[in-house]
C-alpha cells in the first residue's frame, strides 16, 4: 500500500505540473480525490490490512492527500492568475478610439410651429391659457351658446363619455373658463389637443391640435380681429402669402368668418389638398357673441371681443408644404428627420 500511495502521489504531481487550464485541473482532482478516485480506492482497501499496519498506512494516506490538495491549490492559484491576465488583456480599452456618436433628437414639426405661433402672439401681448381635455358639456357647448338639442352639436361629431362629460371638440371652453375668473382686458391664446369623430384623410383626423385666441376689452371691433390675423399669417408664412376672409356662422360669435390662405401645393390652381378650390381654411373667427360674454359675467354693453380658432396641423402643412396630415402621426423617421 505504501508503494501504491507513493506511486499515486508521484503520478498526480506529474499530471498537475503539465495542467494548462482550470478545467484540466478539475479533472485531475476528480481522478485522484473524487469518490471513485485513485487515492479514495486505496483508502477503502485499508480494512483488509492487519490492525497493526493500519495506523502507519493511514498516516501515509493522509500525507499523500494533503500533498495532492496543496499542489492542486497552488496550481489553481497559478492558472487562475493566468486566466485573469488573459481576460484583462482581451478587455483592454483603447482610450484613443473615437466614441459612439449619439444622434441628437429634434422637435416634432408640430411642436416647432406651435412654438413659433406662441412667439408671434406673445409678441402681440397675448398670454397662454390651458384647460382640461376631458370637458363638461356646459363649457364645451352650453356656455358657448350651443344649448342641448342645438343643431350645431351634430356638426361637432362629439365623443361623449357620458351625458354631461365629453372629449372637448375645440379649445373654446378655455375662453369661458378664463372669462369666468378674469375680468377684461383679456388677451389669451389656448393651444391644446381636441377630439372629433372625423374620417381620416389628407386634411382631417379624429385627434388634432387647435389654438384658440380671445381678446376682450372696450372698443374691440372686427377690424381688430382682421388686422391681428393678417399680422399672424404674414409673420408665420411671409409677406407674400394671400389671405381671404369668408362670411360664416358660429353660435358663439356674431358676426363670424373663416380665414383661408392660398394653397401651398397648387398655388391656387386646385388640387386634392385644397379640394380644387385653390385655398385652404386654417381658422374660424368672429366677434364674441353677447350671450357668451353675459354668461361669463361680462357686460356686453361695455365690453366687446373677438375670438378665433386655428388648426395647428393645417398651419404646419402650409408652413412646410406638407400635403398629407397623416404624416404627422405615423412617426416615420424618414419624414420627421427632415425637420
- Shared domain check, 222 and 139: yes
- Shared domain check, 224 and 308: yes
- Shared domain check, 18 and 82: yes
Residue 1 has pLDDT above 70, yes or no: no
Using the 3D structure, point to which of 55, 90, 125 is the last residue of a domain: 90
- Shared domain check, 188 and 52: no
pLDDT on residue 9: 77
Question: Which residues form the domain of 282?
Answer: 109-336
Buried b (16+ CB within 10 A) or exposed e, 181-210: eeebebbbbbbbebbbeeeeeebebeebbb
Residue 119 has pLDDT above 90, yes or no: yes
The model's confidence at residue 49, banded by pLDDT at 50, 70 and 90, is low
The model's confidence at residue 171, banded by pLDDT at 50, 70 and 90, is very high
- Shared domain check, 83 and 114: no
Residue 247 has pLDDT above 70, yes or no: yes
Using the 3D structure, point to which of 60, 90, 120 is the last residue of a domain: 90
- Shared domain check, 135 and 82: no
CA 253 to chain centre: 37
The model's confidence at residue 55, banded by pLDDT at 50, 70 and 90, is confident
The model's confidence at residue 7, banded by pLDDT at 50, 70 and 90, is confident
Per-residue model confidence as pLDDT tens digits over 140-154: 999 999 988 877 777
- What residues does 310 pair with on adjacent strands? 211, 283
| Domains identified in the chain, total number | 2
- Shared domain check, 114 and 50: no
Residue from 290, 296, 294 nearest 181 by CA: 296
Buried b (16+ CB within 10 A) or exposed e, 50-75: eeeeeeebeebbeebbeebeebbeeb
- Shared domain check, 86 and 118: no
Residue from 60, 72, 77 nearest 13 by CA: 72
**CA distance linking residue 323 with residue 232, whole number of Å:** 22
- Shared domain check, 302 and 222: yes
Residue from 275, 14, 292 nearest 145 by CA: 292
Instruction: Concatenate the DSSP letters of all residues of 55-91 into one string.
Output: HHHHHHHHHHHHHHHHHHHHHHHHHHHHHHHHHHHHT
- Shared domain check, 127 and 80: no
Task: Determine how β-strand 165-167 pairs with β-strand 134-136.
Answer: antiparallel
Per-residue model confidence as pLDDT tens digits over 65-110: 788 888 888 888 888 888 888 877 777 777 788 888 888 888 999 9
Query: Once rounded to an integer, what is the mean pLDDT over residues 122-138?
Result: 96
Say if residue 318 is preceded by a cis peptide, omega within 30 of 0.
no
Mean pLDDT score of the chain: 87
- Shared domain check, 178 and 76: no
Using the 3D structure, point to which of 61, 90, 119 is the last residue of a domain: 90
- In angstroms and rounded to an integer, the radius of gyration of the C-alpha atoms of the chain is 42
**Does some domain include residue 253?**
yes
Here the CATH number for the domain that contains residue 275 is: 3.30.930.10
**CA distance linking residue 4 with residue 231, whole number of Å:** 107
**Does some domain include residue 150?**
yes
Residue from 168, 151, 152, 172 nearest 160 by CA: 168
Per-residue model confidence as pLDDT tens digits over 279-322: 888 899 999 999 999 999 999 999 999 999 998 998 898 888 88
Residue from 14, 30, 22, 24 nearest 76 by CA: 22
Amino acid at each position: 500500500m505504501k508503494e501504491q500511495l507513493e506511486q499515486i502521489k508521484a503520478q498526480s504531481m506529474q499530471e498537475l505540473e503539465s495542467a494548462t487550464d482550470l478545467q484540466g485541473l478539475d479533472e485531475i482532482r476528480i481522478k485522484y480525490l473524487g469518490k471513485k478516485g485513485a487515492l479514495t480506492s486505496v483508502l477503502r482497501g485499508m480494512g483488509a490490512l492487519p490492525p497493526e499496519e493500519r495506523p502507519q498506512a493511514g498516516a501515509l494516506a493522509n500525507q499523500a492527500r494533503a500533498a495532492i490538495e496543496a499542489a492542486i491549490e497552488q496550481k489553481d492559484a497559478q492558472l487562475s492568475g493566468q486566466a485573469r491576465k488573459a481576460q484583462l488583456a482581451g478587455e483592454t480599452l483603447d482610450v484613443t478610439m473615437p466614441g459612439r456618436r449619439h444622434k441628437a433628437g429634434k422637435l416634432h414639426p408640430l411642436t416647432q410651429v406651435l412654438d413659433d405661433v406662441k412667439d408671434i402672439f406673445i409678441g402681440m401681448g397675448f398670454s397662454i391659457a390651458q384647460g382640461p381635455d376631458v370637458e363638461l358639456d356646459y363649457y364645451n357647448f352650453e356656455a358657448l351658446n350651443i344649448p342641448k338639442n342645438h343643431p350645431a352639436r351634430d356638426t361637432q361629431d362629439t365623443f361623449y363619455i357620458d351625458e354631461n362629460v365629453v372629449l372637448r371638440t375645440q379649445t373654446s371652453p378655455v375662453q369661458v373658463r378664463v372669462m369666468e375668473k378674469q375680468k377684461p382686458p383679456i388677451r389669451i391664446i389656448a393651444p391644446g389637443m381636441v377630439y372629433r369623430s372625423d374620417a381620416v384623410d389628407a386634411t382631417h383626423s379624429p385627434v388634432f391640435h387647435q389654438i384658440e385666441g380671445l381678446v376682450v376689452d372696450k372698443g374691440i371691433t372686427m377690424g381688430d380681429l382682421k388686422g391681428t390675423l393678417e399680422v399672424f399669417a404674414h409673420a408665420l408664412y411671409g409677406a407674400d402669402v394671400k389671405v381671404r376672409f369668408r362670411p360664416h356662422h358660429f353660435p358663439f360669435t356674431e358676426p363670424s368668418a373663416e380665414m383661408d390662405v392660398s394653397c401651398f401645393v397648387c398655388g391656387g390652381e386646385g388640387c386634392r389638398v385644397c379640394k380644387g378650390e385653390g385655398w385652404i381654411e386654417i381658422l374660424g373667427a368672429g366677434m364674441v357673441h353677447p350671450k357668451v360674454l353675459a354668461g361669463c359675467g361680462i357686460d356686453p354693453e361695455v365690453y366687446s371681443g373677438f375670438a378665433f380658432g386655428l388648426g395647428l396641423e393645417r398651419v404646419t402643412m402650409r408652413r412646410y408644404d406638407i400635403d398629407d396630415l397623416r404624416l404627422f402621426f405615423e412617426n416615420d423617421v424618414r419624414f420627421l428627420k427632415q425637420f
